Amino acid sequence: MFKVTNIISAMQPLYYVSKVFGLAPYSYLELLSNSYIIKGPSVPFIVWTITVTVFVVAGYVHNIFYFFRENEYHIASSSIVIIFEKTWLFAFSVTILLLGITRNRLKMQDIFRHIIEIESSLLKNQARIILKKEFWSLSFQVLFVSGFHVCMFYSYVKIHQEKEKSASYFSYTIASFINTIGVIQFLFLLKILRMSCRRIGDDLEHAEINYFAANKAFIVRHIHGQIPEYQQSRKLYNLRYLHFKLHELAGLINSYYGFLMLMETTHNFVMFVGLAHSIQMTLEKQSGTNLVIHDICLLLFYSGKLTVILKTSQLTHNEPKEMLVTVHQLLLCPSISSACQAQLRLFAAQIVDNEFEFTACGIFPLDLSTLHSIVAAAATYIIILYQLKIT
């Protein structure tokens, strides 16, 4: 266990919701000194997570049995898409719950340990202001996804007005909400990475002014006898160390969420295809306007979620490149000392060799090129499903 101050305050909206749904593999104890103690998974937490997992599995079994009982209303192509989509959705929920208390149960502590060290070194006095903004941002995200899922469930119940269908969709909604909270956790950690990278870049830009000051000190060295060369070199070394800690943090985040993002991107792809196909069929029948609106809202939601995941990963991956530009600008400055120049060259090589990589379990990168491939593949499958229907 270890102490942490501002990060828990910022994460409280997300933490409490994650705790309710078994997604927070840690707990904290507030101290009188406005700090906290982070602890690993406890027995009550493990029992509660297993309980939520059993509920999700039971919901999946109920969904599948109900679907096969009503299968006469679906053509073969639609059945395959629906079964695969439901299986992948519930599998994501079960996986993120079970990994939190097994393989990943200690990784979250390592993630927080890195975040706290970076926060204390980089954010300093600005930590409370920055993380307060994150508190309100997370509050809005949690409220938005909660309201969205409640509205979708309510509209579904109003459309179908069948108790068994409502029960089936309720478990489906819970699984979808669990998945979305896991995505918000991933996006929040990526945002912390980006903020820290920007802070290192700001410190480098301020260091450029200090180098010119050092040059002036060199001119009057016979009067004052002080050259701040060691301090500047030491500062660059500290920034290199913090960048390496960010690289380790990125690796931990990718290790924790890599497989989950593989399932999430795959599920969103199938949802996009399935919902587009469902909307197309409903429009052809010229019936069920409310159902079309419901499916369109879900289509926009899943498309937006996938886009945000890949866009945020791309931005976080590219953030160190801005630091690299600043480092090269400093290397072109004629006023730097040889010791600082050596540190800057090492820094440039470190940024190039230690990129932030976010992948779906190493199978494909989480970036905008993947989004382009997903959109192209989805369009192809929608056309194939339409051709299967008319033949």
Residues 310-320: pLDDT tens digits? 999 999 999 88
Q: Using alpha carbons only, how large is the chain's radius of gyration in Å?
A: 25
* CA atoms of 390 and 280, how far apart (whole Å): 13
- pLDDT tens readout for residues 215-240: 443 333 333 334 455 677 788 888 88
Instruction: Tell me which residue has tokens 């749904």.
Output: 21
Hey, what are 275's tokens?
């919902």
- The answer for 337, left when phi > 0, alpha when psi is -120 to 50, beta otherwise, is beta
pLDDT in tens, 337-387: 788 888 888 989 999 888 898 999 889 999 998 999 998 988 888 888 777
Nearest to 67 by CA among 56, 81, 55: 81
Structural domain for 195, as ranges: 2-390
What pLDDT, on the 0 to 100 scale, is given for residue 74?
A: 52
Domain count for the chain: 1
- Total H helices, total E strands in the chain: 11, 3
Report helix, strand or coil for 164: helix
Interatomic CA distance for residues 249 and 137, integer angstroms: 22
22-67 per-position pLDDT tens digit: 888 777 666 555 555 666 667 888 889 899 999 999 988 888 887 7
Q: What is the pLDDT of residue 78?
A: 61
How far is residue 166's CA from residue 174's CA, in Å, rounded to a whole number? 12
Q: How far apart are CA 45 and CA 47, in angstroms?
A: 5
Does residue 229 contact residue 211 with C-beta atoms inside 8 Å? no
Give the 3-state secondary structure of residue 334: coil
Spell out the SS3 assignment of 31-42.
CCCCCEEEECCC
Share of the chain residues as helix, strand and coil, in percent rounded to the nearest 5: 85, 5, 15
∠162-269-105 over CA atoms, to 5°?
90
CA pair distance 97, 21, nearest whole angstrom: 9
What pLDDT is attached to residue 277? 77
Q: Give the residues across from 29 on adjacent strands.
A: 37
